[in-house]
Amino acid sequence: MRSLIKRILSEESKRMALYDYIAEYVNDAFDGGKPTYLESYIIIWDYTYYGDDADDEQPQLLEYDNYDGRLWISKNYMNRLQSLIPLDKEIIYDIVKDCFEKRFDVKVSFVES
């Protein structure tokens, strides 16, 4: 019984460590991406992007639509997150959703990329 409890606590500790690691990365993107508030949208930009031409637009990492509660995550950003720690897409969605809701005090209804 003790070994089972140790294993459960160990698994929970691992899960929390993974969550904290991804959440820190996501929150850094919120800080660096300088959110833009445009009508019913909150847009987080890719602050790591440096285009080849002056005309290149800075790509979006995330876009939240207050009208329907949709949080869109760019495929490139999802790939970055999954390359840090290979987690299931739905787990990544949940972490980003939690971080976004806490940071911007909004309710995310669904996530897509």
pLDDT tens for 76-91 read 999 999 998 888 899 9
In a domain, 14, yes or no: no
9 domain residue, yes or no? no
Q: How many domains does the chain have?
A: 1
Residue type, 6: K
Residue 97 in any domain: the answer is yes
Asked whether residue 92 is assigned to any structural domain, the reply reads yes
Domain-embedded: residue 46: yes
Q: Is residue 41 part of a domain?
A: yes
| CB of 93 closer than 8 Å to CB of 64 | no
Residue numbers of the domain that contains 96: 19-112
> Does some domain include residue 94?
yes
- pLDDT, position 38: 92
- pTM of structure: 0.81
* DSSP one-letter string for 25-79: HHHHHHHHT--EEETTEEEEE-TT---SSTTPPPPEEEEEETTTTEEEE-HHHHH
Range picked from 50-64, 73-87, 93-107 for highest mean pLDDT: 93-107
**pLDDT surpasses 50 at 54:** no
Domain-located, residue 4 = no
Q: Reduced to 3 states, what is the DSSP secondary structure of residue 19? A: helix
Residue 36 has pLDDT above 60, yes or no: yes
